[in-house]
Amino acid sequence: MVALKVFGQPASTDVARVLTCLFEKDLEFQLIRVDKFRREHKIPEFLQLHDPSGQVTFREGDLTLVDSRQIIRHLCSKYPDHGNKKLYSNGFLEKANIEQWLQSEALNFGPPSSELVFHLAFSKPLGLEYDMDAIENNEKRLSNILDVYDQRLNENEYLAGDEFTLADLSHLPNAHYLVTRCERGKKLFTERKNVARWVQDITRRNSWRKVVELQSEHPGPLEK
């Protein structure tokens, strides 16, 4: 197998998403810790990857990918028989269902949850004041989305059915930060019975625990 390389910090939600998938698939990889806040992404090798954002970059031989959701799709498609074989089903209908919730995470859950993670969990450590207008606006947006999730999770164990898939995995980083770093963010999840059960379940997975261990070994700032 060609060596798999991930460039970035585990504290980044995008990097954490990719690392979780790699652990779920039992794939060997090399993590190259790059901190854009210390301008470490200016090293020649990283510049060659053509990722101006410095968020997350994945390399496999001559292939370079930047978007974390594209990376996890690639890993599951290329290595379907490794590790967790149910992350990204080969069935047309099942995969379409997973894609529906992946899109929901990227377009609906991701934006307000990312804003709340930044404002509630990281603004004070960075020496910034709370932006209450932004917090309240994004709380409303995320609350509306989690109401839909709660209804869905009343019908199924996980978002795309009764198996843990990329649909759930993609939500892990932001959900974890909100539940563990700020009481206000945690309440959005715990006050909804089915969402509370779901987030407790997925954050206890061994793959995610390994990512949290990597984060604690070398904590870094969130890449917003």
SS3 54: coil
The tens digit of pLDDT for each residue in 170-205 reads 999 999 999 999 899 999 999 999 999 999 999 999
Say what the pLDDT of residue 25 is. Answer: 98
34 pLDDT tier (thresholds 50, 70, 90): confident
pLDDT at 121: 82
18-32, 42-56, 114-128: which is most confident: 18-32
Check residue 106 and report its DSSP letter.
I
Phi, psi torsion values for 59, nearest 5 degrees: -130, 135
pLDDT at 48 over 60: no
Listing DSSP states for 108-170 in one string gives IIHHHHHHHIIIIIITTTTT----HHHHHHHHHHHHHHHHHHHHHHHH-SBTTBSS--HHHHT
The confidence band for 28, taking pLDDT boundaries of 50, 70 and 90, is: very high
Would you say residue 151 has pLDDT above 70?
A: yes
Q: Is the pLDDT of residue 222 over 50?
A: no
Kindly list the distances between the CA atom of residue 165 and the CA atoms of 88, 184, 217, in Å, as whole numbers in the listed order.
6, 27, 27
What are the residue ranges spanned by the domains of the chain? 4-86+209-217, 92-206
pLDDT at 57: 83
CATH number among 1.20.1050.10, 3.40.190.10, 3.30.420.130, 1.10.760.10, domain 92-206: 1.20.1050.10
pLDDT tens for 74-120 read: 999 999 999 999 999 888 899 999 999 999 999 999 999 999 999 88
pLDDT at 36: 54
Residue 154 has pLDDT above 80, yes or no: yes
pLDDT tens digits for range 199-215 = 999 999 999 999 999 99
Query: Which CATH entry fits the domain spanning 4-86+209-217: 3.40.30.10, 3.30.360.10, 1.10.1200.10, 3.30.450.20?
Result: 3.40.30.10
Would you tell me how many other CB atoms lie within 10 Å of the CB of residue 103? 14
